[in-house]
Amino acid sequence: EFAVPLEQVEVYIGDTPNSHSLATFASRSMGVGGVALKLSAQAVKAQMFKLASHLLEVGESDLELREGCVQVSGVPGKAYTFAQLASIAENPVQKEQFPEDLQKELLKGLCSLQGFEPADLSYPFGAHLAVVQVDPETGEVNLQRYVAVDDYGHVLVPTLVEGQTHGAITQGIGQALYEQMAYDVSGQVLSATLMDYAVPLAIELPPFELTLTETPSPLNILGVKGAGEAGTVAAPAAVANAVIDALVPLGVTSLDVPLTPHNVWQAIHKARVGASS
């Protein structure tokens, strides 16, 4: 919004008691918090233009942002830096000389507190494909290939979105093949730590083949949709369906996750016994 280098931007992380949001959930961080930030930035930019317009005695339409300054279009010598404008906006002596409407606008300096409540939910969409190989003698499932095409709306930072997708797919694969809460006969949890609770390792995963398409959401000014959970929804179904497809010739048509070697072998064995009886 301000066209300044990232190194000039400092982010202050809030804390729960001072938060103006319910929480971060449902992949809403960018779709709600990001939009509120965009609206706040636009409001502060408008304040800067009003202030610079008064100081430079020109119309707001004659101003432009350029290299950390608000300047008269095409006249670099007639400009105020962002720092200068912020200082003036907080100087009570100088503000006394401003028109009343501008004084009210700058009551707290160059500052804006904006919220955003979406009118409706914005849903991403996509398609995921898993290719697996199943050893019928051991029940071991080997994931050989994973392809995903997702549409998260307008992607602001592709590297972050791809990282989220990698992590989400990995979590989904874990749900399909490994993760379960195990109990003994007395109800004691047997998989209470990561020493016993299986999660996917990088060595067990193929390179993910990702493609992002962009269909901007009409529900917010950034055009964004949630991205964090798509992989956790798609991957379990894609992997489970691929395993079942591989087992259909052996007579297995349904199987509950997790598809551990033991569970898969038992299903194959049961199908073989049923076929021979």
What tens-digit pLDDT sequence spans the chain (277 residues)?
888 888 888 887 776 666 666 666 667 788 888 999 999 999 999 999 999 999 999 999 999 998 889 999 989 889 999 999 999 999 988 888 898 899 888 988 999 888 888 888 888 999 999 999 999 999 999 999 999 999 999 999 999 999 999 999 999 999 999 999 999 999 999 999 999 999 999 999 999 999 999 999 999 999 999 998 999 999 999 999 999 999 999 999 999 999 999 999 999 999 998 887 7
Closest CA to 1 of 122, 187, 156: 156
Q: What's the token pair of residue 231? A: 């992989």
Q: What's the token pair of residue 120? A: 């409706």
Count of beta carbons in the 10 Å neighbourhood of residue 263? 17
The model carries a pTM of 0.83
What CA–CA distance (Å, rounded) separates 45 from 59?
15
262: CB partners within 8 A, 6+ apart: 139
184: CB partners within 8 A, 6+ apart: 190
C-beta of residue 238 within 8 angstroms of C-beta of residue 144: no
The phi and psi torsions of 177 (rounded to 5 degrees) equal -115, -25
Please name the residue ranges forming H helices in the chain.
35-56, 82-89, 92-95, 100-105, 158-177, 230-247, 261-276
* Domains recognised in the chain with CATH numbers: 6-105 (3.30.365.10), 125-276 (3.30.365.10)
